[in-house]
Structure formats: C-alpha cells, structure tokens
A and B are shown apart, each in its own frame.
Chain A
C-alpha cells in the first residue's frame, strides 16, 4: 500500500496525478478462509480491519453483493454522537466515539471527522425533562453534555427559529460538543484500504446465496462464484440480516424498513453544527461542500424497497422549514432510502448465534454509522475469541429471551 502523504501528493503531481495505484486489490475468492465476513459496508470492513490489525487474523475475506460502502454506509446522514440514555448503550457508543478523532491517522485516510457538536432540540416540557434526565445520565457515564436554553441556542445557531410564536416552540436542547459528522464514503474506503493492506481479500459483486451449516457448525458461504469454506462466518448486512439469518435457519427480532435522507443544492456556510429534533422530526447538518444533509424518518411498515414513502420526507421538510425559515426556498438535489434493521429496543444485536462459528452484528437500525469503528472493534474481538467482548455482551441475541432489553426507543434521540 502506498502511504498517502504530502510528499506523495507532490510526487504524483509531477505525473499529473495519472499514476496513483489502486487503493485495494480486486481479489479473486480463494476456496477457504479462516473468517468470511458477509457485507462490505463500514461495519464489515471495520471488523475485517480490526481482526487483522488487533488479533493478527488476516486470512479473512469480505464478501459484498454490490460495491464497498454502497448500502447504508453510503446512504446516511453521517452523524456521530454518543448521548445514549442507557448505560450499556452509552458505553458502547462512547467507545466508538473515542475512536473517531484518531481514525484518519490510524487508517492513513482522511475520514473528515468534524466534531462540530450535536444538538437535540426539545419542544415540550416533558421533552425538556427527558433531555435533562438524559444529559445527567450521560454525565454520570463520563459523556459530555449540556442543557442549553433557547437564548443560548439562538446565539449558537442564528438561523434556528427560537421564537415563542413558532408552531412548536423550541424550549431548549441537549448539546454534545464531541459529536459531529464524518465523511461516510471515506470511512468505508479507509477501512477497506487498510484491511486490504493487512492481507484481507475484498470480494465485490458477489452475492451470498446460502450459508452452509454442518452438524450445527458453520462450514462456509455459498456464493454465485462457488462455495467459500470458512471456519467462522460473520454477517454484517444491516437491513438484509433477516434474509441472511433465514439461510442459516435462524429468526431475528428485526423488522426492516426504508429510512430516507436527502441533500440540497450547495449553499454558502450557514450551519456549523448538527441539529436534531424528535418532536417535529428532522435532523440537519451542512456538508463541507455546502449541501444541507437532511434525515427523515423510517417508513411505518416493513419494506425492502430502497425508496421510502413520500409523506415521510414531506413531513421532515415541513419541520425543516419550521425550524429554519431561511431554508424554505432551498431546492433538494437527491433523495434516497436505505433499508435499516430495527430491533424492538432500537439497540443492536452483536455476538454469537445458536449455530457454532456463525456471528451476527445487526439491528443498528437508524443509527449505525456513528458506531462503525466501535462496532467493528468489539465484533472483531468477539469473533477472534469466540466470546462476546465485554461491551458487546449486553447486546447478545439472548437478551430477548432474558427480557434484558436495552430500551433506547425515544430515550436517546432515536425518533424512528
């Protein structure tokens, strides 16, 4: 792997930047691997990277049906935060957040992490009480957080309509300064390039059509390019987890739904933080190249159509116009829908399954991007040692049998 540096940039400038090497190999699948990871999104690629980097397991293939980072990794609003209410969730998401600031250097790839802070607005008295409770819970867990008054909000976000005459007046907000945004594609590419350099095979355009199970143990995955044998198989396929689980004869407590987002035409810099609102339902930030990135809600029903219902974005854009009257004339450029895997408690499932050697990392629902580094790290550790990482243990599939749900629906600004 050629290291990216200022010197390299100058060197390639001499050749008009026409001789940059490929960032990763286009690997032909071998007949067997130690570990096969199904799903080449951010979480899958991060898992492969940490398996090779931390645990020295580089006999790994990442099998992806489309292209790397082409699913929800490339279809999200890139928000990074850790202000979750429940202890287990707070610890996991904050572990991930701690990995973000150093990620660009670690991967030698600029993931453009920008800790510009995240605001969660409150519009009712009850919501403000919930926000105060959550911020207090966060601080007890060592997570930064503050409750801001409308006056403080107005000073921080001048375009936000904080007037008392708004249809749903803003009564305050929680503020997590360490939160922010990152470039989603770069995260996938950075992990892919770093994993490839450590010997991981990245196999694209190869759908997995079956999971081979022999005597209660996983034996490999069937693909349209033949059987790939593996001692361990790890599935990280977000919305399609249920489909993959069915291949191994398993059921999951998941419903898949489209979640929509959209971006506007580029504007001059006008919003330097992330604003989220559960009550009126929208979240918005401005990308470095100027477009407003707007998150809408998930559809109300199960679906695998990667589009989403129109009335959902209509609702979110109405909320944006209400919160930011100045944006009412902004035109939208693109809209997309990604299939998210939503658990009954809005928390992920990480760990072992009843099938030996088969692991699942799914159920991140509407908020998986922020935890990409942490998810990959704890999942790699779980696979390498065949036991849950301490941070992942509460997120085992068995929590549904034990009734030990980690209820984050509505508790952490998860509004969907």
Chain B
C-alpha cells in the first residue's frame, strides 16, 4: 500500500485515492516521424527495475495530475512534484542511498 502526498492537497493519503497514469515526461513527437518512432512514443516504456518517473492523478481528491519519482522495487516515493517540472528526473540516474 502506497502513501502518496498530492502536491496540490499537501496531505499523505492512501493509494486507493489515486490512479496511476503511466510513465512521466514522454514528449509527443512531431507528426512526420517514422512508424518506429511513433510506436515508441505510443507503446514502448522504460519499465525500469529501480527509480521511475511516473504520473498519478488524485482521482478521489482534487482530480489533478502530478509527477512522482518512485523506486519500483522498494516502492519508496523519492519525490512528488507538479506537472511541467523536470528537475527531479535527475533522481532516476542516481544510485540508491
């Protein structure tokens, strides 16, 4: 059971209030890309065993989206930050403490 703190509501709540919304920071490519690049954008995911940037939506709360950096093995939540920010992405490359 995850405990997530929505950056808009500022309160730690159970994962049942939230929905996972997929990997974060995926940029939609220009429309003239190859089929392979388009498929990569639509379907291919990093799916790492370790730190992962992902989007969540506070479905049973403010219904707003936000980003989370989470470890997919230990399930530790390392950072929670609003959509549009990207600086926490650097956490993904770092070795665990």
On whether A253 and B49 interact (CB within 8 A), knowing A304-B73, A305-B74, the answer reads no
**A374: interface (CB < 8 Å):** no
Scan A282-324; emit 1 where CB is below 8 A from any B CB, else 0.
0000000000000000001111110001110000000000000
Q: How far is the CA of A275 from the CA of B62 in the complex (A)?
A: 38
Inside 8 A of B38's CB, which chain A residues have their CB?
401
Number of interface residues of B (CB under 8 A): 27
B47 and A401 within 8 A (CB):
no
CB distance from B40 to the nearest CB of A (A): 7
CB distance from A309 to the nearest CB of B (A): 6
Q: How far is the CA of A135 from the CA of B40 in the complex (A)?
A: 34
Chain A: interface residue count, which band?
Answer: 20 to 34
CB distance from B27 to the nearest CB of A (A): 15
Inside 8 A of B75's CB, which chain A residues have their CB?
303, 305
Scan B14-40; emit 1 where CB is below 8 A from any A CB, else 0.
111001100100000000000110111
**B94: interface (CB < 8 Å):** no
Pick the contact of B39: A240, A242, A304, A400 (CB < 8 A). A400
**A243: interface (CB < 8 Å):** yes
Inside 8 A of A253's CB, which chain B residues have their CB?
39, 43-45
CB distance from B50 to the nearest CB of A (A): 9
- B45's nearest neighbour on chain A, judged by CB, is A255
Inside 8 A of A302's CB, which chain B residues have their CB?
20, 23, 45, 47, 52, 54, 72
Scan A252-275; emit 1 where CB is below 8 A from any B CB, else 0.
111110000000000000000000
Q: How far is the CA of A242 from the CA of B72 in the complex (A)?
A: 13
A301 and B73 within 8 A (CB):
no
On whether A242 and B73 interact (CB within 8 A), knowing A301-B20, A309-B1, A401-B36, the answer reads no
B16 and A256 within 8 A (CB):
no
**A251: interface (CB < 8 Å):** yes
**B90: interface (CB < 8 Å):** no
CB distance from A274 to the nearest CB of B (A): 29
A402 and B35 within 8 A (CB):
yes
On whether A304 and B15 interact (CB within 8 A), knowing A253-B43, A400-B39, A401-B39, the answer reads no
Using a CB–CB cutoff of 8 Å, the interface residues on chain B facing chain A are 1-2, 14-16, 19-20, 23, 35-36, 38-40, 42-49, 52, 54, 72-75
Q: A253-B45, A311-B1 are in contact. List 18 more A-B contacts (CB 8 A).
A: A242-B47, A251-B44, A252-B44, A252-B45, A254-B47, A256-B47, A256-B72, A302-B20, A302-B23, A302-B47, A303-B75, A305-B73, A309-B15, A344-B42, A344-B43, A400-B42, A400-B44, A401-B38
**9 interchain residue pairs of minimum CB distance:** A301-B20, A253-B43, A242-B47, A401-B39, A400-B39, A401-B35, A251-B44, A300-B20, A400-B43
**10 A-B contacts, Cβ less than 8 Å apart?**
A242-B47, A242-B48, A243-B48, A255-B45, A255-B47, A256-B72, A302-B23, A302-B52, A303-B73, A402-B35
